């Protein structure tokens, strides 16, 4: 079965070729596919219904131009509508308040509030040049207060001490007072979360909201929550005037349909996306790109960015110059290439961003193997002497090549065959480089870099 929406719709409309517009009669079946795709991406059913109705309105009567078929036209309508809905009102954090601008973090336990509080602190310090204070009002879990302290340090912000003996209300009052007296621009308030929604806790956070009068009330929600995100979002929306959403764990393998559900239910813009456990794993939410992911069309934009992010253009330029001057691609260059791959976050992180149908064949086990191979190759190349790396001939057809290879194998803790395999791979790559010299590679890199 074709797994992406464009393919599915294209198959469907083979029978309707030649139709020049989307009509009541051809749209029904196509919308069924769209509905399936959205449900598969974990968008909540009521949200899907609503969305489909809007898409139908927009799609009816659309001309089918050029070589496109009605399916492709519909996909583009769906994609646009998805991006527009999810991206509505996207903006950076609002700080327009008498300092300290207070930001209240709300969400279930485990959603990523504490981590996100620190990520946000880092963002505000680095991108907005603000002096940031954090405080935890989670008096139920002493570990949560400690966790905030640790991550706040990592973020380079200041942490205001609180204890489980205090009342959240009193913590809030004390933290604001401290922030004012020490001229902080922003106060980030982390709050307690429960595994499920809890009335007492909702009353508590409402009270906190009253004391703090925050300029932003952010709902932190785990993208992996899928369908359940809807109920959580509803409960928080009823309890608090939310001003924004942060969707965490988008680095996971969910299709991220929660974004559409949560946007629709809270009515608040999705401001940021959490993309790793690390403190710098926060990105401005990109609705356009996310729409592709929800529809299962893969994240090509992200892939290109990922590929170019890790690329050391200076090193690439040097290599290109070397190739041009005719000195060839040696084993040092080969080692540098492998290190470069690793810098890009490894194969599996790249593969994650490709459309599912392209990677279906390469299972997770294959990826693990490939990454292990890369590490092994690096080990083998590092066991060579600098002279051998600069002059691969010593290993390929030198007189003492057998004893050299044996020494390398021992150094890297592998069999001699594996050393041979690496040398073969190098040889193939060197051949390719030869063909690409004359600027071909630089052109390719430049293209990737945009
Ligand atoms: P809290 O209970 O809402 O404060 O949640 P935490 O901040 O303690 O986060 C719960 C878990 O989710 C921790 O293990 C975090 O490292 C992890 N986490 C948070 N945000 C992200 C994210 O964007 N990506 C990934 N992969 N993990 C995250």
pLDDT reading at 295 higher than 60: yes
Q: What is the mean pLDDT of residues 413-435?
A: 85
Encode pLDDT of 345-378 as tens digits: 555 555 555 544 444 444 555 666 777 788 888 8
pLDDT at residue 160, rounded to an integer: 98
Output the six-digit token pair for 399: 């007189």
Domain tally for the chain?
Answer: 3
Same-domain check for residues 39 and 110: no
The closest-lying atom of ligand 1 relative to the alpha carbon of residue 111 is: 3
| Of the candidates 264, 272, 291, the residue with the CA atom closest to the CA atom of residue 216 | 272
Cα gap 244→266, rounded to integer Å:
8
Ligand 1 site, residue 112, Cβ cutoff 6 A: yes
| 144 within a domain of the structure (yes/no) | yes
273: in domain: yes
State which H helix or E strand residue 188 sits in.
strand 186-190
Q: For ligand 1, is residue 136 a contact (CB within 6 Å)?
A: no
Q: For the chain, what percent of residues have pLDDT higher than 90?
A: 48
Cα–Cα dist 284/91, whole Å:
8
Closest CA to 137 of 106, 178, 171, 161: 171
DSSP code per residue over 138-177: --S-HHHHHHHHHHHHHHT-EEE---TTS-HHHHHHHHHH
Residue in 220, 248, 271, 349 to alter for ligand 1 test, most ligand atoms within 8 A of Cβ: 248
CA atoms of 221 and 263, how far apart (whole Å): 11
How many Å separate Cα 328 from the centre of its chain?
Answer: 37
Helix, strand counts (H, E) of the chain: 22, 8
Domain finish residue from 26, 54, 87: 87
| 195 and 333 fall within a common domain | no
Q: 288 alpha carbon to ligand 1 midpoint, in Å?
A: 24
Q: Does 92 reside within a domain?
A: no
Last residue of a domain, one of 18, 53, 87: 87
Distance CA 27, CA 172 (A): 54
Q: Are residues 122 and 207 in the same domain?
A: yes
- The verdict on residue 292 lying in a domain is no
pLDDT band at 58, cuts 50/70/90?
A: confident
Give the 3-state secondary structure of residue 304: helix
Q: What is the CATH number of the domain that holds 170?
A: 3.40.50.300
The Å distance, Cα 277 to ligand 1 centre, comes to 6
Please work out whether the CB of residue 4 comes within 6 Å of at least one atom of ligand 1.
Answer: no
**Closest C-alpha to ligand 1, atom 27:** 277
Q: pLDDT: is 411 or 63 the higher one?
A: 411
435 in a structural domain: yes
Q: Work out the percent of the chain whose per-residue pLDDT is above 70.
A: 76
**Is residue 74, in this structure, part of any structural domain at all?**
yes
Q: Report if residue 295 sits inside a domain.
A: no
Residue 245 and residue 152 in one domain: yes
Is 297 domain-assigned? no
Q: Kindly report whether the peptide bond that precedes residue 100 is cis, defined as omega within 30 degrees of 0.
A: yes
Q: Are residues 345 and 277 in the same domain?
A: no
| Average pLDDT of the chain to the nearest whole number | 82
- Is 129 in the same domain as 278? yes
Domain at 49, CATH number:
1.20.120.140
Are residues 61 and 112 located together in one domain of the fold? Answer: no
Report d(CA 268, CA 162) in Å as an integer.
Answer: 30
Ligand 1 pocket test, candidate residues 107, 115, 221, most atoms within 8 A of CB: 115
What pLDDT was estimated at residue 133? 98
Give whole-number Cα distances, 212 to 165, 169, 201, 245, 268, in Å: 20, 9, 16, 19, 20
Measured CA to CA in angstroms, residue 334 lies from 386, 397, 426 at distances of 13, 18, 7
Tell me: is residue 192 an annotated ligand-binding position.
yes
Residue-number span of the structural domain to which 17 is assigned = 5-87
Check residue 270 and give its pLDDT: 96
57 Cβ closer than 6 Å to some ligand 1 atom: no
Asked if residue 263 and residue 192 are part of one domain, the reply reads: yes
Q: Do 107 and 72 fall within a single domain?
A: no
- Strands 270-274, 282-284: pairing kind: antiparallel
pLDDT at 328: 73
CA–CA distance, 288 with 301 (Å, rounded to integer):
10
User: Tens of pLDDT along 11-54?
Assistant: 665 555 556 667 777 788 888 888 888 888 888 888 999 999 99
pLDDT exceeds cutoff 90 at 268: yes
Is position 108 annotated in a ligand binding site?
yes
Ligand 1 atom at shortest distance from the alpha carbon of 108: 3
Q: What does the pLDDT read at residue 352?
A: 54
How many angstroms separate the alpha carbon of residue 372 from the centre of ligand 1?
Answer: 27
238 and 353 in a common domain: no
Give yes or no: residues 249 and 394 share one domain: no
Q: What is the pLDDT of residue 68?
A: 57
Ligand 1 centroid distance, CA of 246 (Å)? 12
| Boundary residue ending a domain (87, 119, 150) | 87
Q: What value, to the nearest 5°, has the Cα angle with vertex 52 and ends 50 and 58?
A: 110
For residues 72 and 127, state if they share a domain. Answer: no
Spacing, Cα 388 to ligand 1 middle (Å): 46
Q: Which of 19, 21, 24, 46 is nearest to 35 (CA)?
A: 46
């Amino acid at each position: 079965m074709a797994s992406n929406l464009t393919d599915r719709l294209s198959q469907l409309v083979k029978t309707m070729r030649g139709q020049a517009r989307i009509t009541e009669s051809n749209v029904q079946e196509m919308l069924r596919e769209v509905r399936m795709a959205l449900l598969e991406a974990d968008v909540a059913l009521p949200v899907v219904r609503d969305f489909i109705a809007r898409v139908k309105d927009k799609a009816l009567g659309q001309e089918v131009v050029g070589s496109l078929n009605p399916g492709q036209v519909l996909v583009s309508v769906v994609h646009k509508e998805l991006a527009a809905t999810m991206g509505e009102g996207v903006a950076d954090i609002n700080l327009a308040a008498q300092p300290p601008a207070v930001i209240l973090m709300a969400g279930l336990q485990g959603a990523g509030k504490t981590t996100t509080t620190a990520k946000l602190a880092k963002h505000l310090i680095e991108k907005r040049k603000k002096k940031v204070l954090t405080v935890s009002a989670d008096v139920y879990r002493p570990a949560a207060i400690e966790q905030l302290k640790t991550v706040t340090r990592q973020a380079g912000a200041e942490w205001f001490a609180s204890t489980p003996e205090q009342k959240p209300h009193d913590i809030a009052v004390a933290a604001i007072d401290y922030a004012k007296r020490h001229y902080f621009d922003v106060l980030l308030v982390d709050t307690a979360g429960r595994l499920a929604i809890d009335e007492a806790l909702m009353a508590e956070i409402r009270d906190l909201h009253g004391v703090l009068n925050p300029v932003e009330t952010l709902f932190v929600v785990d993208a992996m929550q899928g369908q359940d995100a809807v109920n959580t979002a509803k409960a928080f929306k009823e309890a608090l005037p939310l001003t924004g959403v942060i969707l965490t764990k988008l680095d996971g393998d969910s299709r991220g349909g929660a974004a559409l559900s949560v946007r629709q239910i809270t009515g608040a813009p999705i401001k940021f996306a959490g993309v790793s456990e690390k403190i710098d794993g926060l990105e401005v939410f990109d609705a356009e790109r996310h729409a592709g992911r929800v529809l299962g069309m893969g994240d090509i934009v992200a892939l290109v960015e990922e590929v170019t992010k890790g690329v050391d253009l200076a090193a690439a330029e040097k290599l290109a110059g070397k190739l041009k001057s005719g000195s060839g691609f040696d084993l040092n260059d080969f080692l540098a290439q492998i290190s470069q791959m690793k810098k890009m976050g490894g194969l599996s992180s790249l593969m994650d961003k490709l459309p599912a149908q392209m990677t279906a064949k390469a299972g997770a086990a294959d990826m693990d193997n490939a990454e292990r191979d890369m590490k092994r190759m690096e080990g083998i190349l590092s066991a060579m002497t600098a002279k051998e790396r600069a002059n691969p001939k010593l290993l390929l057809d030198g007189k003492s090549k057998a004893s050299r290879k044996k020494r390398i194998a021992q150094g890297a803790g592998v069999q001699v065959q594996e050393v041979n395999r690496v040398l073969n791979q190098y040889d193939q790559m060197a051949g390719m480089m030869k063909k690409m010299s004359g600027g071909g590679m630089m052109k390719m890199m430049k293209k990737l870099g945009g």
